Chain A
Amino acid sequence: MKYMLLIIGSQDADPVTGEEDQGLMEAFMAYHKAVHDAGVMVDSNVLASFETATSVQVDGAGDRIITDGPFAETREYLGGYYILDLPDLDSAIDWAARCPGARAWRVEVRPIQEFGLS
């Protein structure tokens, strides 16, 4: 079963210092390698800063509404993700807990909906 681990940062969090950033980079590289070595990796990416985000909606008349950034009221943003192929939620929780993002920010575990059995 596939799970997406969403690494979610907060605009309210203290900014990461250069030294911490270096440590975090190294921790993520080690984690990335561990995920690969375990053979559970499906996909992973880091997203560019939320300041580069653009929101797109199409209204009832078919007009596009383009706005800068994520919704103004959300202080949390998606910073990156892993999609892992794992047997169950407990192992997904284990991988989320090992992810450096869980220490620095928060990791949300979401099962990926499976279709096609009915």
Chain B
Amino acid sequence: MTGEWAADSVEAVFREERGRLLAMLVRQFGDLDLAEDAASEAIEAALECWPVDGVPATPVAWLLTTARRKAVDRLRRDRAYAARLAIMQVEAQQHVDAASGQGADDVQDEFPDERLRLFFTCCHPALPVEAQTALTLRCLAGLSTPEVARAFLVPEATMAQRIVRAKRKIRDARIVFRVPGSDELARRLPGVLRVVYLIFTEGYAASTGEELLRVDLTDEAIRLARILHRLLPAESEVSGLLALLLLVDARRAARTDAAGELVSLEDQDRGLWDADRIAEGRGLVVAALRGAGTGPYAIQAAIAAVHAEAASTSTTDWPQIVALYDVLARRSPSPVVQLNRAVAVAMRDGPEAGLAALDTLDGEALRGYHPLPAARADLLRRLGRTTEAAASYQAALDLASNERERAFLRKKLTELGVGRYRP
């Protein structure tokens, strides 16, 4: 029992602090593999020592000291690493010399938060996107490779290979652990935010059956966004992203019914929406919109906040939502934004106007995108044009691949009562 208790507490401490520990080790040793190994060995040591000696007063300090010692031991043992150690000591000294001017706080602080460097390394644009999400989940969310593999529904060996290859590129092409300078930050930050957003949407779109086995990626994404927000509190897009994730996730309980079927925004029981998440998200939106350079995440969060304020779709401030989509379309034009805007126009001016707006969309760019025929079907249904609605639902069903969305579309088709359809 004691062993189990200790294992739990190590897990808890480590899951919370693993990213920080790893980032500090990477900063010091400049090698992600070495840092990960040293961190793992430090946990093993903790599993042995803590049940006997008790959990230390500052577990992180204990883990960091232990991990550093393990890393240095390994460097001494390994002849190939020995030469590197010598180089790194010289470089480390140069770092200290360079930092002694302005970065005095950094040097004095015993446990500086180095995770931002790690974010920018894991999300480096020279790495493939799927490796960026995998590395971020592994290094900053503290997931194991099997957990990351399960989360993305790929074989463990494939995921392990992906991570190994990315780490090799970081080392061999020399992607350094560094926060980009202020002029470069604006170019690099969207890439980091996109990785967190992709992790969230991957979790959000997960289908029920698989969900039981999957790590909750929406929770992980929110955790990562919170870390980023703590590290970059003045960046309005970081606040915007965290707000967006909180506001969308607030609807989680209402988004599916007891049978696990999707419930549309219109039919959701808004009493089930998470009031705490909404309050937190709204606060962040206000802050994000106040800052200079309001970006796409902040605008999308503002749209989610307008939804959150209303008791139902009929009392929603649709003119405001259309106006926000106009801002979004100007700021980052995309056919998907235009589609969402058309749906909002339908809510503001009626289904006829919505259909007219849909007709102006670039059909070529949205080819194969099932939300387009699904939106058209919904508007046709509202107008009582049942046969056309059924054809559009069928077109959407033929395109949708997510099982939960397919079930939703089948239900809509059945409700129309037009007879047989291709399942």
Interface set of A (CB-CB < 8 Å, partner B): 1, 87-90, 93, 109, 111, 113, 117-118
> Would you call B176 and A90 a contact (CB within 8 A)?
yes
Q: In the complex where A1-B174, A111-B172, A111-B173 touch, is A89 in contact with B84 (Cβ < 8 A)?
A: no
> Would you call B83 and A111 a contact (CB within 8 A)?
no
- Name the residue among B84, B174, B176, B178 with the largest chain A CB count within 10 angstroms: B174
Chain B residues near A90: list those with CB within 8 A. Answer: 175-176, 178, 180
Shortest A40–chain B CB gap in Å is: 14
> Would you call B80 and A89 a contact (CB within 8 A)?
no
> Would you call B178 and A117 a contact (CB within 8 A)?
no
Chain A residues near B126: list those with CB within 8 A. Answer: 89, 93
Q: In the complex where A89-B126, A93-B126 touch, is A117 in contact with B84 (Cβ < 8 A)?
A: yes
How many angstroms from the CA of A93 to the CA of B188 in the assembled complex? 13
How many angstroms from the CA of A109 to the CA of B175 in the assembled complex? 12
A–B Cβ pairs within 8 angstroms, 10 of them:
A1-B174, A89-B124, A89-B174, A90-B175, A109-B173, A111-B173, A111-B174, A117-B80, A117-B84, A118-B79
Task: Given A90-B178, A90-B180, output 18 extra A-B contacts at Cβ < 8 Å.
Answer: A1-B174, A87-B174, A87-B176, A88-B174, A88-B175, A88-B176, A89-B126, A89-B174, A89-B176, A90-B175, A90-B176, A93-B126, A109-B173, A111-B172, A113-B172, A117-B80, A117-B83, A118-B80
Chain A residues near B175: list those with CB within 8 A. Answer: 88-90
- Name the residue among A88, A90, A93, A111 with the largest chain B CB count within 10 angstroms: A90
Chain B residues near A87: list those with CB within 8 A. Answer: 174, 176
Q: Which residue of B lies closest to A114 (CB)?
A: B172
- Name the residue among A87, A113, A117, A118 with the largest chain B CB count within 10 angstroms: A117
How many angstroms from the CA of A109 to the CA of B126 in the assembled complex? 10
B256-295 CB contact bits vs A (8 Å, 1 = yes)? 0000000000000000000000000000000000000000
Chain B residues near A88: list those with CB within 8 A. Answer: 174-176
Smallest CB-CB A-B distances: 5 pairs: A88-B176, A88-B174, A111-B173, A118-B80, A89-B173
Shortest A116–chain B CB gap in Å is: 9
Shortest B74–chain A CB gap in Å is: 16
Tell me which residues from 78 to 114 in chain B have a Cβ below 8 Å from any Cβ of chain A: 79-80, 83-84
B200-232 CB contact bits vs A (8 Å, 1 = yes)? 000000000000000000000000000000000
Q: Which residue of A lies closest to B82 (CB)?
A: A117
How many angstroms from the CA of A88 to the CA of B184 in the assembled complex? 15
How many angstroms from the CA of A1 to the CA of B172 in the assembled complex? 10
B162-194 CB contact bits vs A (8 Å, 1 = yes)? 000000000011111010100000000000000
How many angstroms from the CA of A44 to the CA of B172 in the assembled complex? 22
Q: Which residue of A lies closest to B181 (CB)?
A: A90
How many angstroms from the CA of A109 to the CA of B172 in the assembled complex? 12
Q: Which residue of A lies closest to B180 (CB)?
A: A90
Shortest B105–chain A CB gap in Å is: 25
How many angstroms from the CA of A117 to the CA of B126 in the assembled complex? 25
Chain B residues near A118: list those with CB within 8 A. Answer: 79-80
Q: Which residue of A lies closest to B176 (CB)?
A: A88
Shortest A114–chain B CB gap in Å is: 9
How many angstroms from the CA of A90 to the CA of B126 in the assembled complex? 9
Shortest A102–chain B CB gap in Å is: 14
Q: Which residue of A lies closest to B79 (CB)?
A: A118
Shortest B265–chain A CB gap in Å is: 42
How many angstroms from the CA of A111 to the CA of B170 in the assembled complex? 11
How many angstroms from the CA of A117 to the CA of B176 in the assembled complex? 20
Q: Which residue of A lies closest to B175 (CB)?
A: A89
Shortest B173–chain A CB gap in Å is: 5
How many angstroms from the CA of A90 to the CA of B121 in the assembled complex? 11
Shortest A8–chain B CB gap in Å is: 17
How many angstroms from the CA of A109 to the CA of B178 in the assembled complex? 20
How many angstroms from the CA of A90 to the CA of B83 in the assembled complex? 24
How many angstroms from the CA of A109 to the CA of B80 in the assembled complex? 26
- Name the residue among A88, A89, A109, A111 with the largest chain B CB count within 10 angstroms: A89
How many angstroms from the CA of A1 to the CA of B87 in the assembled complex? 13
How many angstroms from the CA of A117 to the CA of B180 in the assembled complex? 29
Chain B residues near A89: list those with CB within 8 A. Answer: 124, 126, 173-176
Shortest A117–chain B CB gap in Å is: 5
How many angstroms from the CA of A13 to the CA of B333 in the assembled complex? 28
Q: Which residue of A lies closest to B188 (CB)?
A: A90
How many angstroms from the CA of A117 to the CA of B178 in the assembled complex? 25
How many angstroms from the CA of A90 to the CA of B127 in the assembled complex? 12
Q: Which residue of B lies closest to A111 (CB)?
A: B173
How many angstroms from the CA of A87 to the CA of B98 in the assembled complex? 16
